[in-house]
Amino acid sequence: MSYDLEWADLPEPAATVRARFEACCDLNELCVHAPPCWEEYESLGAAYQFHLNIAGMASCRDGMRRTGMTHQATPQPFPAWPFDGIDDWHSAAQSRRDAYHEAERVASAQTVAGRTGIPEFKLMSNGPWLVGAREIDEALRCYRTSSQRLRAELERDALWVAWLDWLGQTVSHGGFTVR
Ligand SMILES: [Zn+2]
């Protein structure tokens, strides 16, 4: 298992290429375009992504928990997939797919009322999750007010420094997705 993170709001031309890739996935089992939609997305999206293996994410979660950047909660369930199979999905009216995408997006972006920072469950599975800019901003504020000694200890780890940099970037780009 690994975690693929990406800016929620991409700049152009990456945003258009991602939208085209997603639209192609809605309609086709295999991309029929040249160059392939995934190839363009892979190359243009790379600058806005962060990839973690299971151990790396566990280490980031640990640092976040110790500095009060995350909280424990139980996620609300995702909507059921209301299609009879992949053929039904591909051949359905776009409005049915759009309705599902929107319901999934709302579930992905769920927050926990009255809690500050990022719910840890968004960093424990491939969701898909959307960690919003406000959650990240709150988490970074908690970090800045945590003990200097603890921060110095964490920042000896290059992965943690890269993780903080990632949070700092994505807070001004709508947050990030986790898949
Ligand atoms: Zn395509």
3-state secondary structure the chain: CEEEEEECCCCCCHHHHHHHHHHHHHHCCCCCCCCCHHHHHHHHHHHHEEEEEHHHHHHHHHHHHHCCCEECCCCCCCCCCCCCCHHHHHHCCHHHHHHHHHHHHHHHCCCCCCCCCEEHHHHCCCCCEEECHHHHHHHHHHHHCCCHHHHHHHCCCHHHHHHHHHHHHHCCCCCEEEC
Residue 162 pLDDT more than 90? yes
How far does residue 7's CA lie from ligand 1's centre (Å)? 22
Report whether pLDDT(169) > 90: yes
Q: Give residue 135's pLDDT.
A: 98
On average, the pLDDT of the chain sits at 96
What confidence tier does 177 reach under pLDDT thresholds 50, 70, 90? very high
Cα 78 to middle of ligand 1, angstroms: 27
Compute the distance from residue 23 Cα to the ligand 1 centre, in Å: 8
Q: What is the pTM of this model?
A: 0.94
* 160-170: average pLDDT: 98
Mean pLDDT to the nearest integer, 112-131: 96
pLDDT-based confidence at residue 1 (cuts at 50, 70, 90): confident
Distance 29 CA to ligand 1 centre (A): 10
> pLDDT (tens digit, 9 = 90+) per residue, 39-92?
999 999 999 999 999 999 999 999 999 999 999 999 999 999 999 999 999 999
Rounded mean pLDDT, 22-31: 92
Model pLDDT, residue 118 = 98
As a whole number, mean pLDDT of residues 5-22 equals: 97
Q: How far is the CA of 41 from the centre of ligand 1 (A)?
A: 10
Please report the pLDDT score of residue 29 as a whole number: 87
